[in-house]
Structure 1
Amino acid sequence: MRYPPTSTPLSTTLPTPTTHPVGDVLFGTSLQRSSVAPAPRPIAVILDLFGTLVAAPSPVERRAAAAQFAEILGVSPSAVETVLSDSWQARHDGQLPSTTEVAVHLADCCNATAACVGELEMLLARLAHARLQADASLLRALERLQRGGAKLAVLSDASPDIAEAWSRSALASHFDAVVFSCRAGAVKPDRLLFRAVLRELHVAPHQALYCGDGGGDELAGAERAGMRAVRVERRGGASGLVFGETSWSGRAIRDVEALPSLLDSWGKR
Structure 2
Amino acid sequence: MRYPPMCTDLSTSLTAFAAHPSGDVLFGPSSQQSAAAPAPRPVGVIFDLFGTLVAAPSAAERTAAAAKFAAILRVTPAVVDSALSDSWLARHDGQLASTSQVASHLAIRCDTPAARADELEVLLTRLAHFRLQTDATVLRALEQLRRSGARLALLSDASPDIAEVWCGSDLASHFDAVVFSCRAGAVKPASQLYRAVLRELGVAPSQALYCGDGGGDELAGAERTGIRAVRVARRGGPGSLVFGEAAWAGRAIPDVEALPSLLDNWGKR
Same fold (TM over 0.5): yes
User: Greater CA deviation, 125-134 or 109-118?
Assistant: 109-118
Q: Tell me what 2:216 maps to.
A: 216
TM-score scaled to structure 2, two decimals? 0.94
Q: What displacement does 1:124 show?
A: 0.2
State the distance in 1 between where 2:12 and 2:229 align. 18
Alpha-carbon distance in structure 2 between the residues aligned to 1:22 and 1:78: 46
Deviation at 1:12, TM superposition (A): 4.4
SS for the counterpart of 2:210 is: strand
Q: Mean Cα displacement is larger for which, 111-120 or 219-228?
A: 111-120
Question: What amino acid does structure 2 have at the position aligned with 1:109?
Answer: R
Counterpart mapping for 1:109-188 below 5 A: 109-188=109-188
- How far is the alpha carbon of 1:57 from its aligned partner? 0.1
Q: In structure 2, how many angstroms separate the alpha carbons of the residues matched to 1:13 and 1:146?
A: 30
Please name the residue that 2:234 is paired with: 234
C-alpha displacement at 1:114, in angstroms? 1.7
Counterpart in 2 of 1:68? 68
Contact 2:11 2:246 in 1 (8 A): no
- Which residue of structure 2 aligns with residue 42 of structure 1? 42
Counterpart CA distance in 2 for 1:203 and 1:173 is 19
* Preserved CA contact (<8 Å) 2:59 2:240: yes
1:207-249 deviation per Cα after TM superposition (whole angstroms, max 9, x unaligned): 0000000000000000000000000000010111001001101
What CA distance in whole angstroms lies between the structure 1 residues aligned with 2:26 and 2:41?
Answer: 9
Checking the alignment, whether the CA contact within 8 Å between 2:12 and 2:247 is kept in structure 1 is: no
Structure 1 position 118, deviation (Å): 1.2
* TM-score, normalised relative to structure 1: 0.94
Deviation at 1:115, TM superposition (A): 1.4
Q: Select the residue among 10, 13, 21 that pairs with 1:16.
A: 13
Q: What is the RMSD computed on CA atoms of the aligned residues?
A: 1.4
Aligned-residue offset at 1:24: 1.8
SS at 2:115 equivalent: helix
Gaps of 5+ in 2: none
Contact 2:11/2:247, CA 8 A, preserved across alignment: no
Unaligned ranges ≥5, structure 1: none
Moved more, 18-27 or 213-222: 18-27
Displacement of 1:155 in angstroms is 0.3
- Contact residue 156 and residue 181 of structure 2 kept, 8 A: yes
Query: Are the structure 2 counterparts of residues 107 and 153 from structure 1 closer, same or farther at C-alpha, using a change threshold of 3 Å?
Result: same
* 8 A Cα contact 1:14 1:239, kept in partner: no
Taking the aligned partners of 2:221 and 2:28, their CA distance within structure 1 comes to 21
Distance 2:264 2:63 in 1: 41
Identity %: 71
User: How far apart in 1 are the matches of 2:145 and 2:229?
Assistant: 17
Q: Which runs of 4+ in 1 moved over 6 A?
A: none
Task: Compare 10-19 and 235-244 and name the one that shifted more.
Answer: 10-19
CA distance in 2, matches of 1:252, 1:39: 16
